[in-house]
Structure 1
Amino acid sequence: MIKPATFNFLKDLAKNNNREWFQENKGRHDEARNNVLEFVGELIMELSKIDKTISADLDPKTCVMRIYRDVRFSLNKTPYKTNFGAGISQQGKNFNGPGYYLHIHPEESFVAGGCWMPEAEMLKSIRQEIDYSGNDFRDIVTAPDFKEYFGEPDQEYKLKTMPKGYSADHPDIKYLKLKSFTFTHSMDPKELTRNDAVEAVINGFERLHPFMIFLRNAIS
């Protein structure tokens, strides 16, 4: 589980997002990060039983993202993220394709997964697979268990016009217009502090698994 001390560190960091405070509290960061690494290690072990492409030996250090922000191209110059994030795939967090994601934040934690902003060729392949296998895709994303948990796909990145080669009356146009193929489920951060926190996250990842298989087949 994620310890309350980990969330407390993130809360304090949000109020004191500067290098001087961070250096004074580096020990707290290291303890919080170790807590997250341990938690992600447990997730990997359980996820490997569901998704055979994920090795039980995957090092959680390859999955947990650094807390340092890249401020080079951002108007927000605060140096640190106020969350811990973990991306899980065969390659850990550095995946170009489908992956699972856990966002750990004191106010807005969530589980998610899919292909975030795939490159042009991969995006084309996913759209083609939805076009060719629309019934299979809809069976996955509109299944009652999946729909109740995730709702609609994330809508942050999508075309305002029709994608090239597809008409407005295509039965799956609302999916074909997407530029990211991801689903997200918000979690109460308190869920992550409970003894069954691993099970709660794995519950979301397990529901995502058929969607992940579809995406992998599309780009293979």
Structure 2
Amino acid sequence: MNFTDLFQFLEELQQNNNKEWMDANRKWYKSLRSDFIGWLDDLDLTVAQLHSDYYPIPGKKGINRINNNLMFHPNKPVYKDHFGAGLDKAPHSADFYIEIGLKHCMLAGGFWRPDPKTLRSIRDGIDYNGEELQALLNKPSFRKLFGGLYEDEKLTNAPKGFSNDHPHIHLLRNKTFAVVHELKREEVFQKGFKEKIVEVYKEMLPFRQYLNKAASV
């Protein structure tokens, strides 16, 4: 994968964020998209070896559209400033997300603002065994890579059915249960980039498995 070419394309796209420019450069985009899909396919095969319950996602299925959804976000530009994809995502489960872009290069995973039923299941899991989740979050190697849970909107008070003096109220108030590892752009070009992805994936896996187990109840 030629990431230098990918970043150059994204930079020019953001300077000319319109359908006319994209139409004139669609051959360039399709070539990059095809290469990115091939890179994802190789990565998918690599991380599939790490655990038996891995859910294979071909690159063509995992890659996100480069168009923004203007119906729900009319003020956003026509096209995104990144290439993104989700791997190891069974239906109704936490995915492993990769983003290579101008503002952010990152590896992330978990549930971002899940639907009410899934959110309730996760909170019930924390109510039953929040100690396990807290231990995962406190693990030094986990904190080194992710810091903690992704900071997003939180409830001011306890969610319905829970008390404000619950021992894990600081977790229960979250609406998002995800973690993010920010990458520097230069890391993308390093020879060991795939090994870096594998390292982050392995450290994140028990966290995602905890969420998936809670969400499946």
Structure 1: gaps of 5 or more residues: none
SS in 2 for 1:127: helix
Q: Give the one of 174, 180, 183 matched to 1:184.
A: 180
Q: What is the aligned partner in structure 2 of residue 134 from structure 1?
A: 130
Residue type at the aligned position of 1:26: R
CA contact (8 A) 1:37 1:61 kept: yes
- How far has the Cα of 1:187 moved from its partner? 0.3
CA contact (8 A) 1:153 1:183 kept: yes
Q: Give the one of 105, 113, 118 matched to 2:109.
A: 113
Q: What is the aligned partner in structure 1 of residue 164 from structure 2?
A: 168
Residue type at the aligned position of 2:87: I
Relative contact order (C-alpha < 8 Å, sep 6+): which is higher? 1
TM-score, normalisation: structure 2: 0.93
TM-score, normalisation: structure 1: 0.91
2:97 paired with 1:101: yes
Q: What is the aligned partner in structure 2 of residue 45 from structure 1?
A: 45
Count, aligned residues: 216
Structure 2: gaps of 5 or more residues: none
Q: Give the one of 198, 207, 212 matched to 2:208.
A: 212
What percent identity do the matched residue pairs reach? 30
CA contact (8 A) 1:96 1:118 kept: no
CA contact (8 A) 2:81 2:103 kept: no
Q: What is the aligned partner in structure 1 of residue 73 from structure 2?
A: 74
CA contact (8 A) 1:37 1:64 kept: yes
Residue type at the aligned position of 2:26: K
Superposition RMSD in Å: 1.6
Deviation sequence 1:99-147 (CA, Å, 0-9, x none): 1101110331110001122211211111111111122111111100001
CA contact (8 A) 2:89 2:96 kept: no
CA contact (8 A) 2:40 2:58 kept: no
Q: Distance in 1 between matches of 2:140 and 2:14?
A: 38
2:19 paired with 1:19: yes
Q: Distance in 2 between matches of 1:187 and 1:161?
A: 34
Q: Distance in 2 between matches of 1:79 and 1:199?
A: 34
Q: Give the one of 142, 146, 149 matched to 2:145.
A: 149
Q: Distance in 1 between matches of 2:51 and 2:156?
A: 35
Residue type at the aligned position of 2:47: L
CA contact (8 A) 1:86 1:102 kept: yes
Which range moves more in the overlay, 177-186 or 45-54? 45-54
SS in 2 for 1:160: coil
